[in-house]
Structure 1
Amino acid sequence: MSTFQTGMAPMRSMGDDSDVEEEALVADYKEQVQYEDLDDLDTSNSLAHQPDDLQARLTQAAQPLEFSAPLEAKFQSYDAYCSLFHFILNSEGPVDLEPPSYYWAWDVIDEFIYQFNSFSTYRARIARQGNSEDIQMLRENPNTWGCYSVLNVLYSLIQRSQITEQLAAMKRNEDPMAVAGQYGSKNLYRMLGYFSIIGLLRIHCLLGDFSLALKTLDDIELNKKAMFARVMAAHFTTYYYVGFSYMMMRRYGDAIRMFSHILVYVSRTKNFQKNAQYDSITKKNEQMYALIAICVAFHPTRLDDTIHTALREKYGDQLLKLQKGGPDSLPIFEELFRTACPKFISPVPPDFDHPEANVDPIEHHLSVFMDEVKTNMWSPTVKSYLRLYTTMDLKKLAGFLDVKPEDLRSLLLVNKQRTKQLRWTDHALLEGELVNVNDLDYALQGVSYCSSRTGVFVAKL
C-alpha cells in the first residue's frame, strides 16, 4: 500500500481502473513538491522552537472549530495556524515528521479555509449591525484572518513543496523527483502543497475571481485518478468550484459537465459512508443539483438519466418555469442562486465607521448573475416564435413579447453572441474549442447573417 494511504481506504466510483493502476498513479503523485520563505505571515505567536508535541499540533490543526465559537477562540485558532505553518515553512531544512494520515492534509487545508471564510462572513455581519461588543477587538486586529495572510500560506506551501513543477514534469513523462528538492521529497510538504492548489481554487472563487480560480488548476488533471479524487470531500470541493466558476463565466456546457461528473459519481458509489464529512457532502450535493438546474435552463442538454430523474423530483415545476423563461422565472433563479452559491467574501476588512458603505459580496454577485438572467430570460420565448417564421419584423416580435423594439434588438444581439461558447477539451480549464451551443440560429438584417441546420431567421429592422 502506498504511504499516501495511511488512513481509511479511499472511495472509488464504479468505473475506476484497477487498484494496481490507481496505486501506481498515487505513487507517482508522491514524487512532487518546493518553495520560498513565508516572509509576511503574522508570526507574533510563531513556533520559534519546536513544540513539546508537534505531532499533536498536526492532529489538532485538522480538527474543526465550533461554528458558534466566541471571537477569542477564532483569534486563538488563527494564531495557532500561524505558529504551525511558520514552523513548517521556516524551519532550517524540512520538518522530518510524517503526517498523521493521507486525509489529514486535506482536512488541514479545508479547515483553514473554512475558518477564514466563516470569520470573514462573521466580521462583515458585525460591521453591518454596527453595535456589537466585538467591533473594538476587530478594529484592533484588522490583519487577523486577513486575505493576504491566508493566500500567502497557500502559495508558500505550493512553492516550498514544488508541487506544480512536479505535476508539470509528470505531464511531460519526466521524473518528478528531479524537481522535488529536499522539501518535495517529504510527504508532509507534498500533501500540503497539493491540496493548497485546491484551496486556491476555492479562495479565488470566494473572492469572485473565477478566471484565476480555474487558472490555479493548470497543472492538475481532472480525472478519477487524480490525487484529490481519493478524498471524497476534496473531490466534491474541486468539481463544485470549477463548475461554479464556469457557470459565472457563462460556459454553461462545461459547468454541466463538471456538476454531472460528481453527481453521477455519488449516485453510483456503493460504499458512500456516513462519516464526519457526510453532512457537508450532502449539502454540496443539493447545491449542485440547484446549479445544474440553472445551467440547463441557459443551455438545454441531455443529462444522465439518474441526474435527470433527481432534477425532476427536486425542481419539477421550478425547472419548467426556468426553461420557459420570462419574468416568472426571475425569483426562481434568484432563490436557487442564493441556495447554491458559495459564501462569497470581500478581500478587505469592512468599514466599521460607515456600515452603509459595506457591500455584501453575496448580493453583489447575485446582482451580476441576475443581470445575465434578465438578458436571457426572453430567449426561450424568442426561439419558439423564430421556429415558426423565416422572416419577422422586429416590431412585431417586440409586440409579442411586450418589450420595446430597441430593447429587444439589444437582447437579440447579446443572445446571438451567447450562441458561441468555449468547450473545455483536455488542456487548461480556461482554454477550449469554440462551438455553437444552439440548434437554432438567426440574423438581424444589416447586422449579420447566419445559417443553421434548422434554417435562416431574419428580423427586419
Structure 2
Amino acid sequence: MGGLQEFYTVPDIVKQWAHYFYRHIRERNIPEIQSMYEISFLKLSDRYYKASPWPEVQHIAEVVDHDHVFCLLYKEMYFRHLYARCQPTLRDRCESWDNYIDLFGLLLTSNVNMQLPNIWLWDMVDEFLYQFQSFCQYRGKVQSMSPEEIENLKKCDKVWNIVEVLNILQALVDKSGIVAELEGDGGARLSQLEGYYPQSSNVLRMLGYFALTGLMRVHCLVGDYFTALKAIYPLNLHERTHLFTPRIPGAHITLFYYGGFSYLMQRRYLDAARCFNAVLLYIYRVKAAHRNSPQYEQMLKKNEQMYSLLAVCLALCPAAAKSLDENVLMQLRERQSDNMAAMARGDIDLYDSLFRDACPKFVTSTPPAYDQATTNTNQLAFRAQLNSFLLEVRSQQTLPQLKQYLLLYSSIALGRLAALMDVEEGALRQQLLCLKAKQRQLKWDGGKDMTAGTWTVASDLEFHIDVDAATGREMVLVSDSQTVATYAPLLAHHISRFEEIVRDLSLPPPVAAAAAAAPAAAAAPAAARA
C-alpha cells in the first residue's frame, strides 16, 4: 500500500512530462526531446525536487507503458539528479552502476533504432565517469568508515571496477565503428550532419565518439598519460576542422583539458600550451551564450584551471608563449602575471599550489586494503602525481638564473661563469647539460597519433661548450636562436579590422537615417490614397 500511495503523490505534471517525454522518444522527435531534457526536466527539478530525488522508476512506469528502454533512460537521469542534489548512499551507487550496465549492455547487444540528442549522449558518458570517480573517492576514505560500512563495501568489489569501466568504454568505441569512420574522412560527414544520419540511429555512434574522450579521462585519472593520449585516436587535438566536440561545450572542454594536462605531465609544454590556447579561445567565444546553462559554473572553473596550467607551462618553457593567441596571452597576464614571475624565480610552493587547484581528482586503480587502511588513498594518488610533477620542477630550479647569465654574454669562460654563480665548475657543467636537455622536447609533427612528435629546441637561447685554442680554457659560446617574427598575419588582421571601422564610419548616423526615412514613409500613404 505504501508504494501505491506514493504513486498517487507524484504530481500530475511530472507524470505528464514522463508520458510526453516517452512519446517523443518513440517518435524520434529530437527538438522536443532536447527541450524536455534540457529545460523541462530542470524546471520540474527546481519546483518539486530541489533537494530530494525524483520518483523511482516504478512510480512512473505505468504512464510510459512499462517500456524497458525508457525506464533505463529515466533511471539514468534519476541517478544523475540524485548525485547532483542529494548525498548518494552506497546502495544508490551500486544501483546506478547496475543501471549503466543494463543500459549500455542493451545498446551494445540490440539493434538500436532511436535518436537521442547528442548533448544527452555526452552527458551519459560524462556522468558515468563522474560516478566512477566519485565512487573511487568515496572508497578511498575507508579509514573514516564504520566496520559495518566496510563490510558492505567489501561486497561491492565489482561495482565501478576500473577494468569494467574501461571495457564498457572500449566496447562502445568498437561496436560504434567510429574509429573506421573517422579514419575514412576525419569526421567531415559526422560534423556536416551533426551526428544525425538519415534513417539510422545516432545513439551508438555518438556514444562511441564520446567514449574516446572517456577513455582518455580514465587513463589520465590514474596517471597513465601516454595511454591517455593514445586512447583518443583518431581524434586530432591540433587539427580541429572536423572535430564534433565544439558543438557540445562540456565534451570539447573535457577533451582539451585532459589532453593538455597529459602533455604537461609528459614535459611536452609546447603541445600542452597549444591545447590550452585552443580551448581557452573557444571558452572566450562561447561562454556568453551559455550564461544560463547549468554547466556555466563548471565552464568558468575549468577556464581558471587551464589558465593556471598554462602559466605553469610558460614558467617551465617560456618559448611556449610564441604559440599563444594575443587575447589568451593578455588574459593570462591579467590573471597570472605575479604567479608567473614568482615561478620564474623558482617558487616551489607556488607550483605546488597551482597544481593542487588545477589538476584532476586522481584515483587509485585498485581498492584499498580495507582491514589495514589507515590513510586516505585519494591523497596517496594525488601525492604520487604531485611529487612526480614537483620532481621535474626542482630539476629546473637553478636554470632560470643560469639562463639570465648566459643572456648577458656571447662567450664566457666556464670558470668565470662558475665564479659569478658561486658554484663549482663540475656543478655548473651539470647545470649546463641539464639546461640543454630541458630545452629539447617532443613536439607534435602531424598525423592522428597524439603521442607522436619530433624532438625540437624549445628555447630562444642556443649555446655550446668549446675549448679556446689560444688559452686552452673551456668557453661557453652563446648564440641567439630566436627566429625573426613574421608580422604579415598580424598586419593583415589589423588592415581588415581598419577597413571594417572605416565602413562603419561611412554609414549615416541612426538619427540621420531615421530622418531621411521619415519623408519616404510619409509619402507612401499619400501615394496610396492618390
TM range (shorter): 0.7 to 0.9
Q: Which amino acid aligns with 2:393?
A: V
Distance 2:462 2:230 in 1: 32
C-alpha spacing 1:167/1:353, structure 2 compared with 1 (3 Å) = same
User: Corresponding residue for 2:106?
Assistant: 87
Which residue matches 1:320? 341
Q: Counterparts in 2 of 1:240-259, with a 5 A limit?
A: 240-259=257-276
Q: Which is worse superposed, 132-141 or 260-269?
A: 132-141
- State the 1:442 CA deviation: 2.4
When the two structures are superposed, what TM-score results if normalisation uses the length of structure 1? 0.78
The amino acid across from 2:480 in the alignment is: R
> Which of residues 208, 223, 241 is equivalent to 1:208?
223
How many Å separate the matches in 1 of 2:413 and 2:138?
54
1:125 to 141, 163, 178: 141
Partners of 1:363 and 1:147 lie apart in 2 by: 20
What does the per-residue CA deviation read over 1:377-432, in whole Å, with 9 as the maximum and x for residues that have no partner?
22211111112234556565556556665554434323211212222243121122
1:115 equivalent in structure 2? 131
Q: Deviations over 1:173-192 (max 9, x none)?
A: 999xxxxxxxx953111111
Give 1:310's match in structure 2, choosing from 328, 331, 342. Answer: 331
Contact 1:344–1:362 (Cα < 8 Å) also in 2: yes
Question: In 2, Cα distance between the equivalents of 1:276 and 1:316?
Answer: 31
Unaligned runs of 5+ in 1: 9-49, 176-183, 456-461
Q: In 2 relative to 1, CA 231–396 (structure 1 residues): closer, same or farther, beyond 3 Å? A: same
Does the C-alpha gap of structure 1 residues 3 and 126 become closer, same or farther in structure 2, counting only changes over 3 Å? same
User: Any conservation in 2 of the 1:205–1:245 contact (CA below 8 Å)?
Assistant: yes
1:348–1:411 Cα change, 3 Å? farther
Counterpart amino acid of residue 118 in structure 1: S
- Conserved? CA contact 1:206–1:344, under 8 Å: yes
Q: May I ask how many residue pairs the two structures share in their alignment?
A: 399
Q: Which amino acid aligns with 2:400?
A: P
Which residue of 443, 459, 464 maps to 1:443?
Answer: 464
Q: Matches of residues 370-381 of structure 1 in structure 2 within 5 Å?
A: 370-381=390-401
The 2-side partners of 1:174 and 1:337 are apart by 39
Deviations 1:194-218 (A, max 9, x none): 1111101111111111111111222
- Asked whether the 8 Å contact 1:126–1:135 carries over to 2, the reply is yes
1:389 corresponds to: 409
The correspondence for 1:453, drawn from 466, 469, 480, is: 480
Greater mean deviation of Cα atoms: 192-201 or 403-412: 403-412
* Corresponding residue number in structure 2 for 1:73: 92
Q: Which residue in the other structure is 2:214 paired with?
A: 199
Paired with 1:405 and 1:130, the residues of 2 have a C-alpha distance of: 56
Match among 252, 255, 263 for residue 238 of structure 1: 255
Q: Does 1:164 align with 2:179?
A: yes
Q: Secondary structure at the match of 1:365?
A: helix
Kindly indicate which of the two structures has a greater share of residues assigned to helix.
Answer: 2
Q: TM-score, normalised by structure 2?
A: 0.69
Q: CA deviation at 1:231?
A: 0.2
SS of the residue corresponding to residue 134 of structure 1 reads helix
Instruction: Name the SS of the counterpart of 2:441 in structure 1.
Output: strand
Task: State the Cα deviation string for residues 314-343 of structure 1 (Å, max 9, x = none).
Answer: 2232121112x33xx100000000100011
Identity %: 34
Give the structure 2 partner of residue 43 of structure 1. Answer: none
The DSSP-based 3-state class of the residue aligned with 2:442 is strand
How far did 1:443 drift? 2.7
CA-atom RMSD, angstroms?
Answer: 3.1
Cα pair distance change 1:53/1:142, threshold 3 Å: closer
1:279 to 292, 297, 302: 297
Residue of structure 2 in register with 1:291 after alignment: 309
- The question of 1:349 aligning with 2:367 is answered yes
Change (3 A) 1:172 1:240: closer
Distance across 2 between alignment mates of 1:219 and 1:273: 32
Q: Indicate which of 234, 240, 263 corresponds to 1:219.
A: 234
Instruction: Flag structure 2 segments of 5+ consecutive residues without an equivalent.
Output: 1-27, 36-64, 191-198, 468-473, 483-530
Cα deviation digits, residues 5-40 of structure 1 (max 9, x gap): 8747xxxxxxxxxxxxxxxxxxxxxxxxxxxxxxxx
Q: 1:270-296: CA deviations, max 9, x gaps?
A: 523331111211111110010000001
Cα deviation, residue 262, structure 1:
1.0
